[in-house]
Amino acid sequence: MMTVVTEIEITSGQEPRWDAAFRDRLEDAPNQPGWVAIQLVIPLDAANKRVVIGTWESRADWEAWHNTDVFKSTRDRLNEVEQTSSEEAWYEVIDFRSIARQ
């Protein structure tokens, strides 16, 4: 599994617009091959920032999601209110959940 972390800064006051567009994008994610989980976190000291933490079976699955109609349809809506978006940082996942359940 792979996890990708992306940090976004939103134009102040536009957070509800960004959140709505992102919610629309995420509604389709569980239908995509290789999807495992996505978390959206907001730093306590920066209400106009978002950190997206996505876990996929492979980077290829994540890239394929970027070519879906739903993903593309939200791109302009998100870009309109984003100030900055960092490069993605990729991590290999070592899943210890099965050990913890024993």
- The pLDDT score that the predictor gives to residue 102 is 59
Residue 74's nearest CA partner among 18, 33, 30, 35 is 18
How many C-beta atoms surround the C-beta of residue 62 within 10 A? Answer: 21
Shortest CA distance to 4 belongs to which of 58, 50, 49? 58
Identify the domain containing residue 85 by its residue range: 2-100
**Number of compact structural domains in the chain:** 1
Residue 97, pLDDT > 90, answer: no
In sequence order, what E strands does 1-102 have? 2-10, 35-41, 49-56, 82-85, 89-92
What is the structure's pLDDT at 100?
A: 61
Percent of the residues in the chain that have a pLDDT greater than 70, as a whole number: 95
Which residue is listed with tokens 């984003």? 82
As a whole number, mean pLDDT of residues 44-53 equals 96
The CATH number of the domain holding residue 22 is: 3.30.70.100
Q: How confident is the model at residue 41 (pLDDT cuts 50, 70, 90)?
A: very high
Mean pLDDT of 63-91: 89
